[in-house]
Amino acid sequence: MTTATATSHDDHHHGPEKGIMRWVKTTNHKDIGTLYLWFAFAMLLVGGAMAMGIRMELLQPGMQVMDPHFFNQLTTMHGLIMVFGAIMPAMVGLGNWLIPMMVGAPDMALPRMNNWSFWILPFAGGILMSTFFMDGGAPAFGWTFYAPLSTTFAPDSTDFFIFAVHLLGFSSIMGAINIIATVINMRAPEMKLMDMPLFVWTWLITSFLLIGAMPVLAGAVTMMLTDRNFGTAFFDATGGGDPVMFQHIFWFFGHPEVYIMILPAFGIISHIIPTFSRKPLFGYSSMVYATASIAFLSYIVWAHHMFLTGMPVAGELYFMYATMMIAVPTGVKVFNWVSTMWKGSMTFETPMLWALSFVILFTIGGFSGLMLGIAPADIQYHDTYFVVAHFHYVLVTGALWAIIAATLYWLPKWTGKMYNESLAKVHFWWAVISVNVLFFPQHFLGLAGMPRRIPDYSLQFADFNLISSLGGFAFGASFILLAYIVVDCIRNGKPVDARPWDGAKGLEWTLSAKADYHTFNTPPSRELIENESQHS
């Protein structure tokens, strides 16, 4: 292998090509990671702008800003863009940047495919966004696109939505194949599976979830497509189909999908907490097994989204207990993070602040998930703002929090420079306070019965909605500061050492301060791997 690499590079050897074509043609995992991350950030701003529109309309009861149909388009597109455009690409971007460095590989296993899986994304996103300008508008049936709303009753633009989802699916599946091949084939020969850092483990398991779940999503939209255009009746009762089956298929994809978004986040947090506690990660192998069992369980709990579709009692009970079981491995993780901090010499640099607030706020989301998983209670909670509060706690203060934490934590390695720590602290406190002002009151709104996906509401919900909207505007604005912090770091950051964080372990920290364009042309030795292991 070493001899092969030594002679393997053409003119790319000493650094990237110049100009825009560098980014179009690149097969370098670091470039592609950067592209993914900037794309995700752009989409985060687009989806965030939609959220601002939504909160503007909900600021007060009554209809002020937009008509209900446009409101529905905004909620739908907000959900789709955030899930498929922001969170997932950001996680793939982090995976691209970090996995080869963490397993001591020179690049991803399939660099060309890597290029395609990124460059499909802007097209898919563009097609999705273009539906706003079509007759009948963008999809307005919710990010869950239940049939028959999305088949019989949807505008023609829905076919473009279907095509966009197909492309997104292709991109994710290729990304997943690439990560599996990288971890299995390109890993340093001296690194055993149980030596792998947790971010690598969680992404490996996530890749299997992607390979299992994304084709099911593709299948669901394909069936929609043929129902809409080619006379099949998968979801149409007239022809012997069943709209409820759509929900089964969608959630058979949908529940694994939520874990696709959160498992890499678990990995990230499992790097940051040991670093700033200056202790090895507590319970490494239990973390690996917990991740694997969460992934397995995520395939057999889907109907907890469907407690109100008239399931037999036996079904309700089964899905209720199965759902509750997910709390066990998730709890194992939370306890391991807490135990890692126990008696550690903790410091509170900004990545640690994000990680700590992740542990607390994600757990709040987990608890509301447990409440929703109680079938008889869900009769009250389903389709209310309580659900909205739940999934924003797990996705925003869970997945997105981890993405921000990771960005700050590894930014010095990506740029060789340090971000402005005091600005980052300001940004953290701004975001963590406003996000709670935004989402916490939504629990109360939901418990009081305010339905989700509505542009207007009765008067008793006015106060909490006002608070929530104001929190929302503040939270939205905080991302401008985040953009500034990142750009400022790239432009004016102070140069750092190769290991800017005192307690950081991991192969990536053995590279130069700013990781070279090509790294690990020779795989790391057993000794290095053992020294850099974050667990004992």
Partner 1 sequence: MVTDMKQNNKITKGFWIKLVSAPILMFVFAVFIMPPIYDVFCEITGFNGTTGRVEAEQQYEVEEERKVEVSFFAMTMPGFPVQFGPKVNSMQVVPGKFYTTSYIAKNNTDKEVIGQAIPSVAPTDAALYFKKLECFCFNRQVFKPHEEIEMSLRFVVEPEMDERIKDVSLSYNFFKLES
For partner 1, the binding residues (CB under 8 A) are: 1, 4-5, 7-10, 106-107, 109-112, 173, 177, 180-181, 184-186, 211-216, 218-220, 222-223, 234, 236-238, 240-242, 244-245, 248-249, 252, 309-313, 315
Q: Which of residues 143-182 bind ligand HEM (CB under 6 A)?
A: 144
- The Cα 133–Cα 124 span in angstroms is 15
Find where tokens 């455009």 sit: 85
The item of Cu ion, ligand HEM, partner 1, none sharing an interface with residue 310, based on CB under 5 to 8 Å by kind, is partner 1
Residue closer to partner 1 by CB (options 250, 439) is: 250
Q: How many residues does the chain have?
A: 536
Residue closer to Cu ion by CB (options 122, 142) is: 142
Residue closer to partner 1 by CB (options 227, 532) is: 227
The item of partner 1, ligand HEM, Cu ion, none sharing an interface with residue 449, based on CB under 5 to 8 Å by kind, is none
Residue closer to ligand HEM by CB (options 92, 326) is: 326
User: Is the CB of residue 495 less than 8 Å from the CB of residue 417?
Assistant: yes
User: Is the CB of residue 206 less than 8 Å from the CB of residue 102?
Assistant: no
DSSP calls for 387-413: HHHHHHHHIIIIIIHHHHHHHHHHHHH
User: Is the CB of residue 302 less than 8 Å from the CB of residue 258?
Assistant: no
- The Cα 261–Cα 90 span in angstroms is 10
The item of ligand HEM, partner 1, Cu ion, none sharing an interface with residue 245, based on CB under 5 to 8 Å by kind, is partner 1
Give the distance from CA 479 to its chain's centroid: 17
CB atoms within 10 A of CB 43: 24
Cite the active site residues.
78, 107, 143, 171-172, 255, 257, 259, 270, 304-305, 330, 333, 452
In whole angstroms, how close is the CB of 352 to partner 1 at the nearest point?
Answer: 37
Helices (H) and strands (E) in the chain, counts: 18, 2
In whole angstroms, how close is the CB of 261 to ligand HEM at the nearest point?
Answer: 5
Tell me if the bond preceding 148 is cis, omega within 30° of 0. yes
| Residue 398 lies near ligand HEM (rule: CB under 6 A) | yes
| Residue 255 lies near Cu ion (rule: CB under 5 A) | yes
In whole angstroms, how close is the CB of 219 to partner 1 at the nearest point?
Answer: 3
Residue 84, CA distances (Å) to 159, 168, 253, 351 in order: 17, 7, 13, 25
Q: Which two tokens stand for residue 153?
A: 């009753």
Strand runs (DSSP E) across 365-493, as ranges?
417-418
The item of partner 1, ligand HEM, Cu ion, none sharing an interface with residue 326, based on CB under 5 to 8 Å by kind, is ligand HEM
CB atoms within 10 A of CB 392: 23
Total residues at the site for ligand HEM (CB under 6 A)? 25
In whole angstroms, how close is the CB of 230 to ligand HEM at the nearest point?
Answer: 28
Bridge partners (DSSP) listed for residue 494: 418
In whole angstroms, how close is the CB of 280 to partner 1 at the nearest point?
Answer: 32
Residue 11, CA distances (Å) to 115, 333, 514 in order: 18, 45, 21
Of 381, 409, 419, 509, the one binding ligand HEM by CB under 6 A: 381
| Residue 327 lies near ligand HEM (rule: CB under 6 A) | yes
The item of partner 1, ligand HEM, Cu ion, none sharing an interface with residue 394, based on CB under 5 to 8 Å by kind, is ligand HEM
DSSP calls for 284-342: HHHHHHHHHHHHHHTTS-GGGG-TTS---HHHHHHHHHHHHHHHHHHHHHHHHHHHHHT
The item of partner 1, Cu ion, ligand HEM, none sharing an interface with residue 55, based on CB under 5 to 8 Å by kind, is none
Find where tokens 């007759």 sit: 135
Total residues at the site for Cu ion (CB under 5 A)? 1
Question: Which of 135, 141, 144 is closest to 154 using CA atoms?
Answer: 141
First-last CA distance in the chain: 29
| Residue 262 lies near ligand HEM (rule: CB under 6 A) | yes
Query: Residue 487: in which H helix or E strand, if any?
Result: helix 462-492
Residue closer to ligand HEM by CB (options 327, 474) is: 327
Residue closer to ligand HEM by CB (options 32, 209) is: 209
- The Cα 269–Cα 281 span in angstroms is 10
Task: Give the pairing type, strands 417-418 and 494-495.
Answer: antiparallel
Q: Which of residues 332-371 bind ligand HEM (CB under 6 A)?
A: 366, 369-370
Residue closer to partner 1 by CB (options 57, 236) is: 236
- The Cα 524–Cα 233 span in angstroms is 56
The item of ligand HEM, Cu ion, partner 1, none sharing an interface with residue 398, based on CB under 5 to 8 Å by kind, is ligand HEM
In whole angstroms, how close is the CB of 185 to partner 1 at the nearest point?
Answer: 5
Residue closer to partner 1 by CB (options 185, 229) is: 185
- The Cα 228–Cα 159 span in angstroms is 8
The item of Cu ion, partner 1, ligand HEM, none sharing an interface with residue 234, based on CB under 5 to 8 Å by kind, is partner 1
Interface segment toward Cu ion; rule CB under 5 A; list 172-180, 254-262, 327-335, 397-405: 254-262
Residue closer to partner 1 by CB (options 31, 57) is: 31
Binding interface with ligand HEM (CB under 6 A): 144, 258, 261-262, 304-305, 323, 326-327, 330, 366, 369-370, 372-373, 378, 381-382, 387, 390-391, 394-395, 398-399
Binding interface with Cu ion (CB under 5 A): 255
